[in-house]
Amino acid sequence: MLTINEDQVIYSMSPENPPVAEVSSGETLAFITKDCFSNEIQSEKDLFASVGWSTINPATGPVAVKNAKLGDTLAVHIIDIDIADKGCMVTVPGMGAAGDLITKSETKIIPIKNGFALFNDKIAIPIEPMIGVIGTAPLNEEIPCGTPGRHGGNMDTRLIRKGTTVYLPVFVDGALLAMGDLHAVMGDGEVSVTGIEIPGKVTVKIELIKGQSEPWPVLETDDYWYVIASGKDLDETANLSLKAMLEFLAKRTDLSLNDRVSLLSACGNMEISQIVDPLQTIRFGISKEIMKNYNLQF
C-alpha cells in the first residue's frame, strides 16, 4: 500500500501543486498527517503566537488520480483513522466564536488513552477521530488549506470519519487530493478555532466516478446523505446548503420542487459544521431510511 509521508505537504490547494504520487481508481493508500500547527506545539508553554501562520493547516499530498478530469467526482472511502497519543487545543484573544471574551492565550495538551481524550481529571471525552481538511485542487485559483469551498478544504465536519465516503468534485486533471488537520474529537461549530488537534494516519480507498459531479462536496454515512456548503456567514451558507440538497434530490428522484422543499422542511437536517474559518460551513442531511424507496446513489 502506498503511503504519503507527512513531509510531503501543501499549505494551499492549487492546480499548480505538483503531485507527490499518482494512483488509479480502486487503490488504497495512506496519508500521514501533521496536526494543524505542523506539530510545532508540544507543551503548554508553546503558545499559538509561537507558530508561524505560514505553517498553519498543512495538508499531506497532493496525490493525482489517473484519468480524473473536470466534471468527474472523486469518492474517498475512509477506511481508518489512527491518531497519536496526545493532542492540543488553544484559546487565543480575538480568535474563535468567543474570542472577544478571551483575555489570555493558553495551550492545553490533552492525552489520548483507551479511546478517551483526558480533558482533565474529571472529564474524559470519547474520541471520534475525524479529518478537518480534505479536498481537491480548485479550478484556476489557489485556496489556503484553512479555507473551505466547493473543492472541499477546511470543512471541519465531524462526520468526515471512519466509514464515511467523501465525494469531491474534480476541477483539474488528476484531481490532486490532499488531506490533513485531524482531530481526536471536535464539537459542531469548533467554537474555539480548534478541535483536539492531533497528528495521525488516514487510510482511504479512492474511486473515480466519471462524468458526474455535484456543485459541492457530498458525504455518505451509514444512515445519511449530506451535502456540505460554505459561505461568508450562516445565512448565506444555509441558503447554499439548501439549494445543493434540493439539486441533489432533483437528480435522483421524481419529486417536484415543492415536494422536495416540503420534504426537507419535514425531515431534512441543517447542521452547523464550523463557524470559525474564513468561510462558515453547514451540512444538510437526509435519512437513507426515509428515502429507501428511492435507493439514492451518487
Please report whether residue 183 resides in a domain.
yes
- Out of 151, 186, 209, pick the residue that ends a domain: 209
Mean pLDDT, residues 104-110: 97
Structural domain including 134 reads 2-209
Ordered DSSP codes for 51-81? S-GGGSS-EEEEEEETT--TT-EEEEEEEEE
222 and 203 share a domain? no
Please report whether residue 273 resides in a domain.
yes
**Helix/strand/coil for 149:** strand
Please report whether residue 296 resides in a domain.
no
Mean pLDDT, residues 211-220: 98
Please report whether residue 275 resides in a domain.
yes
Please report whether residue 69 resides in a domain.
yes
188 and 225 share a domain? no
- Out of 159, 177, 209, pick the residue that ends a domain: 209
233 and 133 share a domain? no
- Residue 260 sits in a domain of what CATH number? 3.10.28.20
What phi and psi values does residue 267 have, to the nearest 5 degrees?
-145, 5
Q: Terminal CA-to-CA distance of the chain, rounded, Å? A: 27
272 touches 191 (CB < 8 A): no
117 and 169 share a domain? yes
179 and 235 share a domain? no
Residue 155 has pLDDT above 90, yes or no: yes
Please report whether residue 100 resides in a domain.
yes
Please report whether residue 297 resides in a domain.
no
164 and 249 share a domain? no
- Out of 187, 209, 231, pick the residue that ends a domain: 209
66 and 120 share a domain? yes
Total domains, the chain: 2
Band (54; pLDDT cuts 50, 70, 90)? confident
Band (197; pLDDT cuts 50, 70, 90)? very high
16 and 118 share a domain? yes
55 and 129 share a domain? yes
**Helix/strand/coil for 279:** coil
Please report whether residue 153 resides in a domain.
yes
199 and 65 share a domain? yes
Whole-model pTM: value is 0.97
257 and 184 share a domain? no
- Residue 73 sits in a domain of what CATH number? 2.60.120.580
Residue 238, pLDDT score: 98
Mean pLDDT, all residues of the chain: 97
216 touches 240 (CB < 8 A): yes
26 and 158 share a domain? yes
Residue 248 has pLDDT above 90, yes or no: yes
Tell me the three cell numbers of residue 220: 455518505
Residue 131 has pLDDT above 90, yes or no: yes
